[in-house]
């Protein structure tokens, strides 16, 4: 994960900005170096999406399921 993305994630956590966290964790998953890292980031995106009722939650769940992480 790039430093700017890491800094934006930290800032979003500090601000409690769940919609931004969903978007940033999805972005981190897209650029993850390994499937393990991708699963980690998608899981975080999914949890935050569930917490706020984000419309991306079903798609995130599907991605995780396809990775065997359901």
The model's confidence at residue 25, banded by pLDDT at 50, 70 and 90, is very high
Q: Where are the domains of the chain?
A: 3-66
The model's confidence at residue 60, banded by pLDDT at 50, 70 and 90, is very high
Judged on CB neighbours under 10 Å (0-12, 13-18, 19+), 39 is: middle
pLDDT for position 3: 83
Residues 6+ apart with CB under 8 A from 6: none
Per-residue pLDDT tens over the stretch 39-56:
999 999 999 999 999 999
- How many residues in total does the chain contain? 70
């Amino acid at each position: 994960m790039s430093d700017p993305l890491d800094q934006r994630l930290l800032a979003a956590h500090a601000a409690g900005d769940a919609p931004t966290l969903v978007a940033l964790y999805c972005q981190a998953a897209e650029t993850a170096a390994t499937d393990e890292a991708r699963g980690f980031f998608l899981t975080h995106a999914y949890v935050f999406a569930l917490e706020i009722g984000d419309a991306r939650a079903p798609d995130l769940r599907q991605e995780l399921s396809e990775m065997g992480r359901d």
